[in-house]
Amino acid sequence: SESIHAFNRNAPISATITLGIASEQIMLLLIEAYTVALKNDKEKDNLLKKIKGRFIETQYLEFRKSFASHRYVVPQEIIRDIDTAIDSTFRFIKMLRNEQGHPTIIDADKDTVFADLQHFPHYARRMFALICWLKKNKI
């Protein structure tokens, strides 16, 4: 909602940054739910060692590696095209947020921010469907 509010006030940089923060928060929630859902304590401890105190990019990459071996137990209606949802959307929003959150000569394109805002609810629903499934199931 902050991102939409910023966008409506003609503040595309703020909209991009707040959307990026929301996207990263969802990713952290997904990684946490996944870690808790792991039945194998050795695998869980190994993953936690690799992600503890690390940047979101490292946590994300370690999650993706670990999740690859468990994805087939997740129901198809939840996992369908999840790679696209996770990789494309998460990375794209992160890239735009990084461009705006660090001193660059790249200005936030209002059309791109608008498109991200339009797509974000779908992305969030997909991510939370997986998070909810992981909270109810061990893998």
What's the pLDDT score for residue 138? 94
What's the pLDDT score for residue 112? 83
What's the pLDDT score for residue 105? 53
**Average pLDDT per 10 consecutive residues for the chain, totaling 139 residues:** 93 87 92 97 96 92 94 91 78 66 64 86 92 96
| Angle in degrees, 0-180, between the axes of helices 41-51 and 56-67, rounded to the nearest 10 | 160
Token couple for 11: 């503040």
Sign of the torsion formed by the C-alpha atoms of 53, 14, 18 and 110: negative
What's the pLDDT score for residue 102? 56
Token couple for 87: 């990789």
Sign of the torsion formed by the C-alpha atoms of 46, 95, 122 and 81: negative
CA 32 to chain CA centroid, nearest Å: 12
What's the pLDDT score for residue 80? 87
Task: Quote the pTM value.
Answer: 0.88
Kind and range of the H or E run holding 45: helix 41-51
Cα angle value 73/79/82 (rounded, 5°): 135
Kind and range of the H or E run holding 49: helix 41-51
What's the pLDDT score for residue 109? 78
Contact criterion met (CB below 8 Å) for 117 and 7: yes
